[in-house]
């Protein structure tokens, strides 16, 4: 759903075909539809639902589509699928950072997911505040500690009885592909409380500790209340956490690269260079 919704946005995409011009053309076209953007959303909903149906081979009732980046388009998704079920999972920021580090081999690559931690978080909080009466909100730590209770909450939201829910065969219906949480699946076969305290291992040096402190302060008290966590306790947990100098040199280098990338869009520049090089090769051949 991301590229389909971003086709309506003038910023946020880099494409070979010039996204800005494409956006202008699409907006002009949509403005002439009977109900403008609502017409586009309605047709997009039917198109996507048809694709989902084509991948449901056993008359499945639910199709789960999820990715962290959906936080950026949550409100759009609600407009496109007004009758869909939305489940928002909140997690302690300390554990979120830890999980990210773990996925990248404990390497500091914060620049790869800043959009999730900042813009994505703001967008998801805004979505929650606008739709909290019609969505299901789950706390990660509560789910780990009391899975049956939290699952019952989800089942009720999905209009499923407990027996119906546990009778659903999900394993045979999973789609395969190159994306997904390969790390979590390989590390844990059952629900485990280990991730709750894992942040203490990954927030291992003063640089990471300082960054996380600043991040928590950026989130602020009000947003922490929405997330369901104690702002002051979180800061105290970070402050009292003992660290060493493990990975401090490599972290410093990656922090520096992250700043350069933020200022100069290094990753985009590399893609532009590769694209231009390919074009030059074609021109030479001609």
Name the 3-class secondary structure at 27. Answer: helix
Q: Give the pLDDT score at 286.
A: 54
Separation in Å, CA 241 to CA 94, 103, 106, 110: 11, 22, 18, 20
26 shares a domain with 152: no
32 shares a domain with 71: no
- The Cα–Cα gap between 115 and 262 comes to 11
20 shares a domain with 78: no
118 shares a domain with 9: no
Tell me the backbone φ, ψ of residue 87, rounded to 5 degrees. -115, 120
Number of structural domains, the chain? 2
Dihedral class, residue 63 (left if φ above 0, else alpha if ψ from -120 to 50, else beta): beta
Q: Give the pLDDT score at 109.
A: 81
Single out the residue in 139, 162, 196 at which a domain terminates: 196
Q: Give the pLDDT score at 16.
A: 81
Instruction: Find the domain containing 7 and state its range.
Output: 1-54
CB 17 within 8 A of CB 7: no
Residue 23 pLDDT > 90, yes or no? yes
H-only helix segments in 81-132: 93-103, 114-115, 121-131
35 shares a domain with 154: no
Residue 278 located in a structural domain: no
Residue 281 located in a structural domain: no
169 shares a domain with 41: no
71 shares a domain with 50: no
CATH code: domain of residue 105: 3.40.50.300
Look up the pTM and report it: 0.83
Separation in Å, CA 225 to CA 129, 191, 199, 247: 12, 26, 21, 33
Single out the residue in 180, 196, 212 at which a domain terminates: 196
191 shares a domain with 82: yes
Please, what is the Cα angle at 186 between 185 and 192, to 5 degrees? 65
Q: How confident is the model at residue 63 (pLDDT cuts 50, 70, 90)?
A: confident
Which tens digits make up the pLDDT trace of 207-219?
Answer: 989 999 999 999 9
Residue 275 pLDDT > 70, yes or no? no
142 shares a domain with 125: yes
């Amino acid at each position: 759903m991301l590229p389909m919704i971003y086709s309506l946005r003038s910023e946020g995409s880099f494409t070979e075909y010039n996204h800005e011009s494409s956006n202008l053309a699409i907006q002009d076209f949509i403005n002439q539809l009977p109900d403008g953007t609502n017409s586009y959303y309605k047709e997009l909903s039917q198109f996507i639902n048809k694709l989902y149906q084509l991948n449901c081979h056993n008359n499945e009732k639910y199709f789960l589509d999820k990715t962290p980046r959906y936080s950026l388009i949550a409100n759009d998704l609600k407009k496109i699928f007004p009758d869909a079920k939305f489940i928002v999972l909140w997690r302690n920021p300390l554990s979120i950072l830890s999980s990210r580090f773990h996925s990248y081999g404990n390497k500091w690559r914060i620049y790869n997911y800043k959009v999730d931690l900042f813009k994505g978080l703001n967008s998801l909080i805004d979505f929650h505040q606008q739709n909290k009466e019609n969505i299901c909100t789950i706390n990660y730590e509560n789910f780990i500690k009391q899975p049956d209770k939290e699952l019952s909450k989800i089942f009720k939201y999905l209009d499923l009885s407990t027996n119906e829910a546990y009778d659903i065969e999900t394993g045979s219906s999973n789609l395969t592909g190159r994306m997904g949480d390969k790390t979590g699946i390989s590390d844990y076969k059952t629900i485990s409380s280990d991730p709750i305290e894992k942040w203490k291992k990954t927030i291992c040096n003063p640089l990471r500790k300082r960054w996380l402190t600043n991040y928590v302060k950026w989130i602020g008290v009000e947003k922490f209340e929405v997330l369901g966590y104690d702002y002051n306790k979180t800061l105290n947990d970070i402050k009292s956490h003992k660290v060493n100098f493990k990975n401090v040199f490599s972290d410093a280098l990656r922090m520096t690269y992250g700043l350069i990338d933020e200022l100069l869009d290094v990753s985009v520049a590399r893609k532009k260079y590769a694209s231009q090089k390919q074009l030059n090769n074609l021109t030479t051949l001609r």
